[in-house]
Amino acid sequence: MRAHEGTTGWRPTVLILGGTAEASRLASLVSGRFGERLRVVTSLAGRTREPAPIAGEVRHGGFGGAAGLAAYLRDEAVDLLVDATHPFAAIMSRHARLAAETAAVPRLTLSRSGWQRRSEDRWIEVDSAAAAAAVLPTLGRRVWLTFGDGLEVFQGLSEHWFLVRRVERPREPLPLPDHELILARGPFEEEAELALIRRHAIEVVVSKASGGTATAAKLAAARRAGVPVVMIRRPAPEPGPRVESPDEAVAWIANMLGEEEVRDGGSSEA
Ligand code: NAP
């Protein structure tokens, strides 16, 4: 690994593909543990106008496909790549795998665990947002869409009313016939989610199977309200090593760098 070549004053670089709470947490943990001995860069797609602060360096915007990312890995002398993008960011994850292979950079996927279905849950599992749109007419007309991208597939449902929650006001009007937009940033509480369902007389919830704790309360609220949830399954993950928690990703980084050398700070590469 380039980090172990022993160039005086040079420090290894970790690139985190971010846009998730787990990626930000990892940047914070790694910065705290390794400090100035490690360069930590988090990459954001640039879709959020005001992202929450992230420890270390932050870069914004796409790389220009897998080839662009491979060039970035080489140009920035990246030693380790952690793909901590959202489980539904399938294009970026594929590019990460291809680019890491091309540039011979070790890659880890950090992907939060999925939600477990309970016996009282009324989930209808589908493979895409388009499939979710197709089943909605059988389930109800007042729909809570719990994600904000790829809404075009719901455009043709002129008999439906949609509640959409976003972190930021979208740049373009939502492509939905009849809807209300609310702006809020998680984590969300179960009681508040239940109140939201009742206030808007929600008959069906549509959710991506994102997993994680920050947005799980809506599922508990739907369960209590007896409301069905159309659950869009995750895309197939990329092959390769993967962990579910930022702590495990820190351990992988430490192991790849040779923990003793970096911790002691005595080696020339640290
Ligand atoms: P995507 O469809 O997999 O990727 C589309 C393109 O966006 C990629 O080809 C890449 O452009 C760029 N991109 C994506 N993530 C990037 C990153 N971390 N840094 C730099 N460029 C990135 O991605 P997506 O589903 O639209 O997600 C975009 C971002 O939002 C990701 O950071 C993801 O973690 C976050 N996010 C996604 C969801 C979701 O439901 N999809 C939910 C919450 C957060 P180039 O080809 O030009 O490199």
pLDDT in tens, 119-173: 999 999 999 999 999 999 999 999 999 999 999 999 999 999 999 999 889 989 9
Residue of 65, 58, 68 whose CA lies nearest to 17? 58
DSSP 104: T
Q: Per residue in 97-131, pLDDT tens?
A: 999 999 999 999 999 999 999 999 999 999 999 99
Q: How many CB atoms lie within 10 A of CB 74?
A: 14
Strand partners, 230: 124, 206
Cβ of residue 42 lying under 6 Å from some atom of ligand 1: no
Cβ of residue 95 lying under 6 Å from some atom of ligand 1: yes
Q: How far is the CA of 172 from the centre of ligand 1 (A)?
A: 18
Can you give the pTM of this predicted structure?
A: 0.91
Instruction: Find all residues with CB under 8 Å of 82, minimum gap 6, and list them.
Output: 14, 15, 16, 17, 23, 26, 107, 108, 109, 110, 249, 252, 253
Q: Per residue in 37-93, pLDDT tens?
A: 999 999 999 988 888 899 999 999 999 999 999 999 999 999 999 999 999 999 999
263 pLDDT above the threshold of 60: no
Q: How far is the CA of 4 from the centre of ligand 1 (A)?
A: 31
- For 87-102, letters b (16+ CB in 10 Å) and e give bbbeebbebbbbbbee
Q: How far is the CA of 192 from the centre of ligand 1 (A)?
A: 29
219 pLDDT above the threshold of 60: yes
Q: What is the mean pLDDT of the segment spanning 205-231?
A: 95
Assess whether the previous peptide bond of 187 is cis (omega < 30° from 0): yes
List Cβ<8 Å contacts ≥24 apart for 178-187.
Answer: 186/214, 186/215, 187/213, 187/214, 187/215, 187/217
Q: Would you state the structure tokens that stand for residue 193, as one six-digit string?
A: 């989610």
Q: What is the mean pLDDT of the segment spanning 27-35?
A: 96
Q: Per residue in 7-19, pLDDT tens?
A: 446 799 999 999 9
Cβ of residue 51 lying under 6 Å from some atom of ligand 1: no
Q: How far is the CA of 85 from the centre of ligand 1 (A)?
A: 7
Rounded to the nearest integer, the mean pLDDT of the chain is 92
pLDDT at 262: 47
Q: Would you state the structure tokens that stand for residue 192, as one six-digit string?
A: 């508040």
Residue whose token pair is 């992907």: 111
- Residue among 85, 95, 102, 207 to mutate when testing ligand 1 (max atoms within 8 A of CB): 85
Cβ of residue 92 lying under 6 Å from some atom of ligand 1: yes
208 pLDDT above the threshold of 70: yes
